[in-house]
Amino acid sequence: MIKNVTVLGLLSLMLWSCAKKDEDPFATIRPEESRFTKITLVEKLNEPMEIEVLDNFDVLFIERAGKIRKYVSESGQIEEIGFLDVYSQAEDGLLGLARDPKFAQNQWIYLYYSPVGELEINRLSRFTLVDGLLDKSTEKIMLEVPVFRGCCHSGGSLEFDSKGNLFLSMGDDSTPFESDNYNPIDERVGRPGNVDAQKTAGNSNDLRGSIIRITPQPDGTYTIPEGNLFPVGTPNTRPEIYVKGNRNPFRIGIDQRNGNLFWGEVGPDASVDSLRRGPKGHDEFNLATKPGYFGWPYFVGNNKAYWKYDFEKQESLFEFDPAAPKNTSPNSTGIEILPPATPALIWYPYDESVEFPMLGTGGRNAMAGPVYYRGDYEASDVRFPGYFDGKGIFYDWMRNWIFTVTLTEDFQYDTMERFMPSTVFDKPVDMQFAKDGSLYVLEYGTFWSSQNDDSGIYRIEFASGNRKPSVQASADKLIGATPLTVNFSSEGTTDFDPGDQLSYTWDFGNGEKSNEPNPAFVFSKPGVFPIKLTVKDKEGASAEANLEVKVGNEAPKVEIDWKANKSFYFGPESVSYQVNVSDVEDGVIDPSRVNFSIDYLEGGYDLIQIGHQQEQIHPGESYITQAGCKACHAIEKESVGPNYTEVSKKYANQTDAKTYLAGKIINGGGGVWGERVMPGHPQLEADQVDKMVDFILGIANPNSKGSALPLSGQFKLDKIQNQEGYYLIQAAYEDKGANGIGPQKTFIQLNLRNSLVRASSANQLQDVAKANGPQFQFVKFTAKDAWIKFENLDLTGISSLELALNPGNTKGKLQVRVGSPDGKLIGETAALSKEDRPKNVEGQYFPVNMKLTVVQDFQDLYIVFQPESEVSIWNTFNMNTIKFIR
């Protein structure tokens, strides 16, 4: 009897333990962001594209230039396991990776890549890993797709479903630049092969512009599963196609429970709707619960229709019908009447989306991730909660956000929520859940077609109970001469569990350690030292942060002594200046090695972006960016047209190069670099074109900068009429390096803007709306204590402000404060209403002068609204411009 009770007791205890282990306090409650920890596994990758997380938590990943690599979980190191010789220009290269569903037994992986050689194809192949390394002799070529090399929209995402079917996405292989960034449907004879997407995305007999679904076989071939878009044997179709009508389905995801296919569709670039061409560009998040045609190149978004356009006559003929899309292009080899177009699940343009405003504004590059089900993963301490069950992951490579999307029972859009909104993601490009329910995120890094130091693989863990510390590490110096004293700080490190006690361990990379939260350490020998801060809570949970300190070479000191206000220009005047440079190791400075320039930019240049530059800005490059030239020409990489480095080398020794290239920019032309014709830019000013050409020619010959300014003297500020114009004053010096530490460069910049400033150009706004008009941009104060902020303005010598105001139907005063919205008060208007408008002032706004208390140096300036009557978004106090007066 006692034994039976013991057995029953043990059984009860086991059942209770299992139930306890599977408890999910966040099954229906949204967890706060602090319960997620983003852990860095490895960084500084070279254009990483896709990942596969293995059962031992090693991570296979590919890089576009051809490498197959593995992150080894146990050691934290990278192993090089293979390389394919690929054509990696434009958007081609090593693009897609998937492991076989039986990888543990057969070690098969699938790669989609662009092989080098004369054949213009992309290829899907199966390879075997032998002793952990890619054995090229095992390649089984499954599929080859003819492409137009050097173009665009290659796609390449690979994913298996739970039934062993392999999905592969392919873009439309068509350029957007020959059709004014609307739909490329140029049917003219003799045109390049990449200007008509009806040949690819609209062609039922071409695999480009589609997502295919096939079933790989053990012998390296494939079969067609039941239920694709076109049954086997249908004339003028490809049976592999599951989804058709794609522009650039760059990243796809599969719901492993029901087989639903998700993908992000990178959309066209037109920024405005055209009455006779069609809608502006939208990116899409799409869902296919069954095979279908998804609209491109005839529709975008929720089936917004493009026009049939005759490129020869430049006439719009008719709008396409989503119920019966018709492809009559002579370049198509497929069926004429396509299936009805399926609208996108979510769609959004460059500007704010009416339907989905939470997605924000800016560049677009939609992508799809996995669908999560808690029950599909091991019961672990890091497994995501049931709150995310059935939610798909939707993210944007350009906007650096991640959303989770909830669907209705019949798979219609319901809601979406931002995931980890305060966490930094640098161009997320792929993600996958590991077997323990943690999320692995692959980040491409900031710049396209570049090796980015901020690229990497990261693991996101969830904690339903005790949370790991959130670690911040900083230092007052990261480089300097020997000996170097560095003050380290853990300020910002937190633990979100009440009452947790934290312990700190600093590893200084030379065998020395400290357990102080904020230690000072003297590096007595030169070298590069990896610094690691480990923080542990009382439960033993720990997290890390890393720094790097370089000892042995002090960075140069560069100063621009500008004898006038350092933020504004006010009128024609000459200003004295002196550039001062010193360097501990270099000693006497050679003036010829100091780069100093003063340039005037006509306008349209974003002052906020100028302020974050780490290299000298050439005004010519700025004008190239403004004119949109970088859409077709890159500095070094291949693009639609020749890159600027090639152009610079070609004309480096041609005596009339500047005149010749200026003519090409203004008038356009072709035939030098192939068949593509570059459109002219007659709208550009001659001075702007001259600076553009100077920049291009200076790439191959950086010393051909013309007459450099002396490092001291006087400069005449005489271009003052353009309200949007800027003077850009820059100085830089790179030392020679010392003690094994490479050269260090110091760069300093002043930006002089017109003293008449648009209120809407403020760096930050709180409870203030921007109202865009055809001739002005003003701001609307909508609440008490609403404010606008201008960052880092030199207020030296500024005695007053002249504000252009329209109080509307409300009444209130404006205050000027420095440092914060409730900082030191340096100026204030009287309480103003529309009754205060002077009788002799016409127009919507009237001027109000405000005296300022004298303030020196650079300050953050706030203009704060204090109402004395009702104010709301419908009843606002308005300001157009601010004039800074000496």
Q: Which residues pair with 601 in a beta bridge?
A: 726
Average pLDDT over residues 355-361: 94
User: Shortest CA distance to 796 belongs to which of 756, 882, 854?
Assistant: 854
Contact in structure between 849 and 827 (CB atoms under 8 Å): no
- Rounded to 5, what percent of the chain is helix, strand, coil? 10, 40, 50
pLDDT at 234: 97
> Could you give the angle at which helices 657-667 and 686-700 cross, rounded to 10 degrees?
130
Dihedral sign (CA 383, 386, 391, 394)? negative
In this prediction, residue 10 has a pLDDT band, given cuts at 50, 70 and 90, of: very low
User: Which range among 483-492, 632-641, 807-816 shows the weakest confidence by mean pLDDT?
Assistant: 632-641
In this prediction, residue 659 has a pLDDT band, given cuts at 50, 70 and 90, of: confident
Q: What integer best gives the mean pLDDT of the chain?
A: 89
For residue 616, is pLDDT > 60?
no
For residue 681, is pLDDT > 70?
no
Dihedral sign (CA 835, 836, 841, 843)? negative
Q: Which residues pair with 430 in a beta bridge?
A: 442
Average pLDDT over residues 81-108: 96
SS3 label, residue 542: strand
Average pLDDT over residues 91-117: 97
User: Which range among 294-298, 330-334, 725-729, 825-829 shows the weakest confidence by mean pLDDT?
Assistant: 725-729
| Separation between Cα atoms, residue 370 and residue 50, nearest integer Å | 13
Three-state secondary structure string covering 282-313: CEEEEEECCCEECCCCCEECCCEECEEEECCC
Q: Give backbone dihedrals phi and psi of 570, rounded to 5 degrees, phi first.
A: -120, -30
Average pLDDT over residues 320-332: 96
In this prediction, residue 284 has a pLDDT band, given cuts at 50, 70 and 90, of: very high
Q: Where would I find the beta strands (DSSP E) of 567-690? A: 568-569, 573-582, 594-601, 669-670, 677-678
Tally of CB atoms within 10 A around 345: 20
Q: How far is CA 465 from CA 24, 110, 378, in A?
A: 10, 39, 17
| Separation between Cα atoms, residue 147 and residue 114, nearest integer Å | 10
The residue type at 818: V
- Beta strands 479-480 and 542-551 are parallel
pLDDT at 3: 41
Contact in structure between 635 and 704 (CB atoms under 8 Å): no
> Could you give the angle at which helices 686-700 and 619-626 cross, rounded to 10 degrees?
120
pLDDT at 773: 44
pLDDT at 819: 96
Contact in structure between 158 and 98 (CB atoms under 8 Å): yes
User: Which range among 161-175, 416-430, 861-875 shows the weakest confidence by mean pLDDT?
Assistant: 861-875
pLDDT at 626: 55
Predicted confidence (pLDDT) per residue in 570-587, tens digit: 989 999 999 999 999 999
Q: What DSSP line would sit under 205-218, residue for residue?
A: T-STTEEEEEEE-T
Contact in structure between 852 and 798 (CB atoms under 8 Å): yes
**Angle value at C-alpha 883, between 880 and 886, nearest 5 degrees:** 170
| Separation between Cα atoms, residue 304 and residue 282, nearest integer Å | 10
Q: Which residues pair with 818 in a beta bridge?
A: 824, 861
Q: Which helix (H) or strand (E) holds 242?
A: strand 241-244
Q: How far is CA 184 from CA 170, 174, 179, 196, 282, in A?
A: 17, 7, 5, 5, 15
Contact in structure between 81 and 111 (CB atoms under 8 Å): no
Contact in structure between 485 and 506 (CB atoms under 8 Å): no
The token duo for 723 is: 């309200």
pLDDT at 680: 60
More confident residue, 623 or 613: 623
User: Shortest CA distance to 779 belongs to which of 769, 767, 789?
Assistant: 769
Contact residues for 264 (Cβ-Cβ < 8 A; gap 6+):
249, 250, 251, 252, 283, 284, 285, 286, 365, 366, 367, 368, 394, 395, 396
User: Which range among 304-313, 404-413, 449-458, 861-870 shows the weakest confidence by mean pLDDT?
Assistant: 449-458
Question: What is the distance of C-alpha 489 from the center of its chain?
Answer: 30
| Separation between Cα atoms, residue 116 and residue 120, nearest integer Å | 8
The token duo for 238 is: 């490809």
